[in-house]
A and B are shown apart, each in its own frame.
Chain A
Amino acid sequence: MVVAPVKIEQEAELRKLLGSMNEIPGRVNPTNPIVPFQQFGHLHFARFVILDDHTLDDIHTAFGLPPTEYPLYLAFLADFDGMPDEFRAEMAGKAAKGLRRIFSCCQGFNGDSDLANWMKDHEIPASTAYVNWLGRTVHQIREENALSAALKLHLRENFQWFQSKTPLQIHEALKKFVQKEISSGRLTLSDSQPTPFSWRLRNFVHLIGVPILLLALVPLLVLYLPFFILQLRTREKRDLEIAPRPSHEHEEELARLEDYDVTNQFTAMGSIKPGVLRSWTLIFILWVLDWSTQHIFIRGHLARVPTIHFARWVFLDQKKRLLFASNYDGSLQSYMDDFINKVGWGLNLVFSNGVGYPNTNWLVLDGAKDEQKFKYFIRRHQLPTEVWYKAYPGLTAFDLRRNTLIRQGIEKSFMPEAEFRQWLALL
């Protein structure tokens, strides 16, 4: 995530410029001349958002602390395949003029700044990053979607013929059909690119490093636990909830940008409760969560939620604030219901360390289960996302998963009948 403070005198200009990338608010023009997103073949999702947090006074309301004045930031978020340096170079190459126009509205950017380097310097890494299906590239998504569309049409057009065939015959016929489509160039199914060795090594070290470190920390954690519980429970009983219904204007502004595609964007931020306990709890939780999203939740679901494509949690301003950004399927109402009903405990773990969150008990209980307050809290902390791009409109995370399974079935030489029936039902 690239973050830079906006020059106040150029805020209006920046908003106008970002707005000009959209066909209408909420729907980007993917070939817009400023940043022609569609030209970036490795880019899944991208967004520009101005981090204008209207809840900064909450820390005063809840804890009597003077609210801090933060600069107004511009954030650029992208989810892409490959290495960050390569992506930045591609951005600097293909959208230099537009990006310069955008970033020149930010402090510290001037005409002779090197674009890629400047972006790298302003990069703030996510504390936790979630990817729905680790390693699945945009290229693969497009190939697999074309494959499943071709298979669907083929089956529909020849339904009568297929109906009279045995599972084995159907499988063979479909494989042959795909072969033919591939050899005639109408379909491609590329092999996956080898993952760089350095990445695999780092991933492996992370996989075993975090648990080893955790194990080493266990004695300390156990010793500290009683104190932690005491401190936590005192605070949970004392901390103030700030979750009034968001203003009509705020709700309308957000709603205006939503529900054009089957997927929506979500950006929210807020201040972290003061004191070491809350910030260290959050750092620790996000550290463990990040391990789980890199090694456990990498195949189609984040705990029980299958609708999130990408998500990230990013600390800002010396870990005084936290930003959460995600790309999810369905409307916000169903997203929030999933939060509450499927992973309420997980939401509580993280966001109960934020100022004003509905009261939790024992860090995981209640909190989000106070449905109405939680929804107000979420909506109130949400920010309008100025520009949002998705590389594959019309496709949900589940669609991508199904397409991958369809491809796997085509590449299998044999499937037992029961398994084949399940596979065929995907089409």
Chain B
Amino acid sequence: MPSSVNYADIQGLVRFGYGKMAEASYLLLNIKNVAAARRWLTSAPVSSALEMKPPPTAALQVAFTREGLEKLEIRPSVIASFSSAFLSGMAGNDNRSRRLGDTGANSPQTWSWGGNGKVPHMIVMIFAESGLLDRWRKSIEGEFWELAFEEVEYLPTIVSDGREPFGFLDGISQPDLDWELSRIPPINSDQLTYTNLVCLGEFLLGYRNEYGRFTDRPLLDSREPGCGDLIEAEDHQSKKDLGLNGTYLVVRQLEQDVHGFWRFLDKVAGSNRELRYKLAEALVGRTLSNGEPLTRMRRNPVQGVGSRGDASERELDIKRNQFTFEMEGGPCPIGAHVRRANPRNADVPGENTTFISRVTHRFGFGHKDIYADLLASTRFHRLLRRGREYGKQLSPEEVLQPAPSTDSERGLHFVAINANIERQFEFVQDAWMMGTKFGGLTDESDPLLGTRLAVPGCISADGFSLPQESGLCRHIPALPQFITVRGGAYFFMPSIRALAYIARNAT
């Protein structure tokens, strides 16, 4: 592992959300002409993670599916060394679809892209400051584009004020990546407090992950033609690291039924505006107005919260993210979206202040509440999210009207970066989002993402529990499906060097 990070070799999206570039669109491409595609890839101005002064006004990112690597004639033995989730693909088998909740209305058969036979070869993501996107697109296309690619799907996004279509601030809690490579995770012992600082290896291949290990990645025999520019693998000196500074990109097109969401809550709230917002906030776990958590702020700082940016950014981050959840309910329902997405726990629940408590906890004893140890430790299941919204935004008045028959689609192009698709994205999606047994709950999945499909043997899977102070649980029944998957795929986002290798491909 290099002792410092070479930002120039990393695609910028890992480091930046390109928030200042208000316009973005994602192009899903098939490669028509391999030679032309190679030439385009060789000369494409792919943006790196280097900090530039003045900051650039536009950016370009590129990633490939397995199908794309095959099309570019990467050797089968090299392709076989990518992660098995990537190779299989998001819609690769029924078991994966069952785990991801891609069943019923979410079934890949209904997807407009990414389903069987519809997996694109590549994704090209372009970002630009207001008004510049079209020009930027023209300029990156260059002379080979037309010949090289066929556009399978064009995914435009909208300029939003950071709010997803339901109206909540999105992407305000992100892991703090350990760019300084300073974090040494506990290996044979436990992390006893929640930390938001996460090993770089969880998001970039070729660096140590939260287990202190290198996540599996494609390593090439140094005699492999064309790999001369790649760096030696830290853990296998005789190999060239094709994965180093690359990562996996999870892209899902999530259609949001904004009318359905607010009309349902309005009905439950008996058309009381304040109650309606309160309910929505309970489902999400944050306030609608400013994204603050429903839970009280912690007195002690959380490592990796409020540690980046200028003073006002730090202060805002602390306000929004210096919290963990009370073991038993508290003001934030156990099933709230943000709690499912990141339960903010440590490796071992409870106070581990004394030797005795540490020993008894290690054997599963000494917990006062029965919910202890139901949740996996968060630090192994983090996602870096880079999603953007699409479709026409609705005003608070419009959302309460029935959707007009001519209504267009709106939602989120969910983009997540992780080094281990199975342990990160798929685990979060399966165990925490879709899981009807999350944290000891029984009859509900994620209030936003859930499919509401019944689990055999359970009363229902479409409820939501709102715990009351009395201990009584208010049960909201029959939540409709608010979010439907319209497409999705796993991509490999190579480093700049690896991109050159892929483009050149000397074999």
Complex Cα–Cα for A304 and B377 (A): 12
Q: Is the CB of B216 within 8 A of A304?
A: no
Q: Is the CB of A156 within 8 A of B456?
A: no
CB of A239 within 8 Å of the partner chain:
no
- Which residues of A sit under 8 angstroms from B457, Cβ to Cβ? 261-262, 392-395
Complex Cα–Cα for A333 and B427 (A): 7
Q: Is the CB of B471 within 8 A of A422?
A: yes
- Beta-carbon contacts under 8 Å, B469-499 to A: 470-475, 477
CB of B156 within 8 Å of the partner chain:
no
- Which residues of A sit under 8 angstroms from B470, Cβ to Cβ? 163, 167, 421, 424
Complex Cα–Cα for A423 and B328 (A): 12
- Beta-carbon contacts under 8 Å, B443-465 to A: 455-459
Residue from the set A306, A393, A423 with the largest chain B CB neighbour count within 10 Å: A306
Complex Cα–Cα for A155 and B84 (A): 46
CB of A396 within 8 Å of the partner chain:
yes
Q: Is the CB of B364 within 8 A of A306?
A: yes
- Answer whether A371 and B364 are a contact pair too, CB < 8 Å, given A155-B472, A393-B457, A398-B437: no
Q: How far apart are A285's CB and chain B's nearest CB, in angstroms?
A: 16
Q: Is the CB of B477 within 8 A of A337?
A: no
CB of A402 within 8 Å of the partner chain:
yes
- Answer whether A420 and B188 are a contact pair too, CB < 8 Å, given A333-B426, A341-B380: no
Q: How far apart are A146's CB and chain B's nearest CB, in angstroms?
A: 11
- Answer whether A156 and B373 are a contact pair too, CB < 8 Å, given A369-B211, A370-B213, A424-B470: no
Complex Cα–Cα for A305 and B373 (A): 7
- Answer whether A303 and B475 are a contact pair too, CB < 8 Å, given A259-B98, A424-B470: no
Q: Is the CB of A333 within 8 A of B373?
A: no
Interface residue count on the B side (C-beta < 8 Å): 57
Residue of A nearest to B212 (CB): A369
Contact among B212, B430, B458 with A333 in the assembled complex (CB-CB below 8 Å):
B430
Q: Is the CB of A371 within 8 A of B456?
A: no
Interface Cβ pair total, 8 Å cutoff: 146
Q: Is the CB of B364 within 8 A of A170?
A: no
Q: Is the CB of A251 within 8 A of B374?
A: no
- Which residues of A sit under 8 angstroms from B95, Cβ to Cβ? 255-256, 258-259
Q: Is the CB of A167 within 8 A of B373?
A: no
Contact among A251, A302, A337, A338 with B84 in the assembled complex (CB-CB below 8 Å):
A251
Q: Is the CB of A262 within 8 A of B437?
A: yes
CB of A401 within 8 Å of the partner chain:
yes
A314-350 CB mask vs B (1 if < 8 Å, else 0) is: 0000000000000001110110011011101000000
- Beta-carbon contacts under 8 Å, B366-418 to A: 369-370, 373-374, 376-377, 380
Residue of B nearest to A417 (CB): B471
Contact among B455, B459, B468 with A152 in the assembled complex (CB-CB below 8 Å):
B459
Q: A: which residues have CB within 8 A of B?
A: 149, 152-153, 155-156, 159, 162-163, 167, 170, 245, 248, 251-252, 255-256, 258-262, 296-297, 300-306, 329-331, 333-334, 337-338, 340-342, 344, 365-366, 369-372, 392-396, 398-399, 401-402, 405, 420-425, 427
A-B contact pairs, 18 of them (CB 8 A): A149-B459, A153-B459, A156-B477, A159-B475, A167-B470, A245-B84, A256-B95, A262-B457, A300-B370, A304-B361, A330-B437, A337-B380, A394-B457, A394-B458, A402-B440, A405-B370, A421-B471, A425-B473
